[in-house]
Chain A
Amino acid sequence: MEQSKVIRKKDLTLLERMYIPEILKGMRITIGQMFKPKFTVQYPEDKFVPSASFRGRPVLVEENGIERCVACGLCSRVCPALAIEVQASETVENKERYPEKFEINMLRCILCGFCEEVCPEEAIIMSNEYELVFENQKDALFAKDKLLVPIEKVQARLDFLRSHR
């Protein structure tokens, strides 16, 4: 019945304690690393293409020329940063309601993806666009003209959401 066992690391051998051979071994590794392929992405020229699981800026899905959104306002209610503003109106389409005004303040948006989770119509989803730079506050207000994206462009994200639901 040995309850505890003293684990002791082996002492360094004489050769290891002389440092110099070990340092040379280390230098072989560092010099070897110099000739390996680099991980750097040269940003403005090459851009990082995110996978479908990436949460970029939220967009509205446009199907057959009109948005899927029915202006229920859930996204606006759930938004922790109060970035979304929706004003509903009536339409002759099947869905009967549509957002007359849909505006996301991208300075407030924290890209949490709650709006996407809560949306019953899969109408607002997170895209893979991450370049969000503005020169003034007005440019940061994304209205429907900037938010609407044809469904083909965000199909990968929609498939990803289905497969993880």
Chain B
Amino acid sequence: MDIIEPLVKIVFIFLITLTTVAYLVLVERRVSAFIQNRIGPNRVGPAGLLQPVADIVKLFLKEDIVPKAANKFVHSLAPLISLVVAMTTFAVIPFGNSIHLFGRDIKLMIADVNVGILYILALSSLGVYGITLSGWSSNNKYSLLGGLRSSAQMISYELSMGLSIIGVLMIAGTLRLDKIVESQAQGMWYFWRTPISFITFVIASFAETNRLPFDLPEAEPELVGGYHTEYSGMKFGLFFLAEYANMITASAIIVTLYLGGWQLPFVGHIGLPDLAVSLLQIAAFGVKVGLVLLFFIVIRWTIPRFRYDQLMNIGWKVMLPLALANILITGVALLW
């Protein structure tokens, strides 16, 4: 019995994440089209809703080309690392309060780890392996450059990411993500309480997910396709999947840490049945994650890419001091 519950949750999360990824690609294409006064893909199915299916079928039918001089094992391994890391991070994110179903309380997170945040940080730093190894194993100078850039970028921004979380941890006093969400009840979101930490964390998340303005590892004008230049077919598809799964995970973390997670203010006082309240909270989590994802997409079509030196400048000379200052300010405020 105890093995079934996590399995059901894993399948549930897996399916939801994969469908969200598929439709996120469509949303990105439609939103970018709207921003550029175009219409975007609207032919496959009603309003283009079957476009993801067509995309996936296309990727599966493409020839899978491995360069002759590539390290074949690592070449195949790299996209898997990217995807696995992106998906497993979701294991500790609470997407709802505990729900009462079939006579038992079910906690809406897969793994109830007491070091949730450390687990997220550890896994997100593993993500760099996928990109760096793909760049190295392709035996292509552009891929290698992309992979190296990505490792430099991720290492620089991981630091400020970890430091900016500390502000939240100091107020919450725990590493458990469900307790962090609970401490944000009644609209006391950490977004209001530690705005500097919020800003630095969001910027670092952009860098961690390789999204514009930090998409130097795959900068098209300079590096052809960056680390995935030599990938085709479903291996490229896996990188694509991993990028968007990373986006979803990053926005889920942002929502959990700063935007109140599944908390929906005032919903507890209306007198709804418990089940309805639980479902509303799950919906609230979904809507918040969706809005953050939309923010990710709009940012991508708003700002140009940073230069490499600007990237390093911002990472080490701005983000790091800001995150440190935030710890100091939070500490002083807590003592007061």
Contact A33 B37 (CB under 8 A): yes
Secondary structure dominating the interface of A: helix
Q: Which residues of A contact B302 (CB under 8 A)?
A: 23, 26-27, 29-30
Number of A-B residue pairs having CB atoms within 8 Å of each other in the complex: 36
Task: Please state if B303 and A20 are interface contacts (CB–CB under 8 Å).
Answer: no
The answer to whether A33 touches B36 (Cβ under 8 A) is: yes
* B38 and A34 contact, CB distance less than 8 A: no
Q: Is the CB of B38 within 8 A of A40?
A: yes
Contact at A42–B39, with CB atoms within 8 Å?
yes
Q: Which residues of B contact A29 (CB under 8 A)?
A: 302
The size bracket of the interface on A is 10 to 19
Query: Across the interface, which residues of A come within 8 angstroms of B298, CB to CB?
Result: 27, 30-31
Given contacts A20-B199, A27-B298, A33-B34, contact A38 B303 (CB under 8 A): no
Give the number of residues in B that approach A within 8 Å (Cβ atoms).
13
Asked if B35 CB lies within 8 Å of chain A CBs, one says yes
Give the complex CA separation of A53 and B301 in angstroms: 36
Closest to B42 in A: A42
Q: Find chain A residues with CB under 8 A from B34 CB.
A: 33-35, 38
Contacts of B301 in A (CB 8 A): 30
Contact of A39 with B by CB under 8 A: yes
A39 to B303, Cβ gap below 8 A? no
A36 within 8 A of B: yes
B17-39 interface with A by 8 A CB criterion: 31, 34-39
Interface residues of A (CB under 8 A from B): 20, 23, 26-27, 29-31, 33-40, 42
The 10 closest A-B pairs by CB, nearest first: A34-B34, A40-B39, A26-B302, A30-B302, A30-B35, A27-B302, A40-B38, A39-B37, A33-B35, A38-B39
Q: In the complex, given contacts A27-B299, A34-B34, A38-B39, what are 8 additional A-B residue pairs having Cβ atoms less than 8 angstroms apart?
A: A23-B303, A26-B302, A31-B298, A33-B35, A37-B37, A38-B34, A39-B38, A40-B37
